[in-house]
Amino acid sequence: MKKLLQKITTTELYFRKNGVKQVVDGRNKDTYPSGLTGDISELTGDISGLTGDISGLTGNISELTGNISSRLTGNISELTGNISSRLTGNISGVYGDATNISGDLDECKITEEEREKGINIEDLVG
């Protein structure tokens, strides 16, 4: 594992369903969106607490901030923009606060063993 990410600063998380703003409360799982696929360019805010495979998501994520859960998996290579920085690559097994961190996770050469154990994103910052 290599420390190749960088620190780069929080907002409300919401999405639009049928044109109506839906606010996500990190303390209330009933407000979490589920089954997301496709373009999430209009999703904004703090993604702390979100879980699941996000491989099917595409679009600009510049308005997202927060904590990557260890239960959030998948390849984020089809996402563009800022995840509170410019974080790209496979986030499977990575957790922690991604606020102000940038870089390509794939360049960190994370092994499958390390992904299985879980890696705090702060440990990848050099």
- pLDDT, tens only, 45-93: 777 667 777 777 777 776 776 666 656 677 666 666 545 446 777 778 8
Flag whether pLDDT at 35 surpasses 70. yes
Q: Report the share of the chain in percent with pLDDT over 70.
A: 75
96 neighbors 87 (Cβ within 8 angstroms): no
Cα-flanking dihedrals φ and ψ of residue 92, to 5°? -55, 125
Q: Read off the pLDDT of each residue in 2-15 and give the average, rounded to a whole number.
A: 69
Mean per-residue pLDDT over the chain, rounded: 75
Residue 81's contacts (CB-CB under 8 Å, 6 or more residues apart) are: 41, 59, 60, 61, 62, 63
pLDDT of 11 over the 70 cut: no
* pTM, to two decimals: 0.45
pLDDT for 86 equals 63
pLDDT of residue 70: 59
Query: Domain boundaries in the chain?
Result: 6-124
Per-residue pLDDT at 113: 92
| Banded model confidence at residue 122, pLDDT cuts 50, 70, 90 | confident
Going by the DSSP 8-state scheme, the letter that residue 56 receives in this structure is T
Tell whether the model's pLDDT for residue 1 goes beyond 70: yes
Residue 81 is predicted with a pLDDT of 56
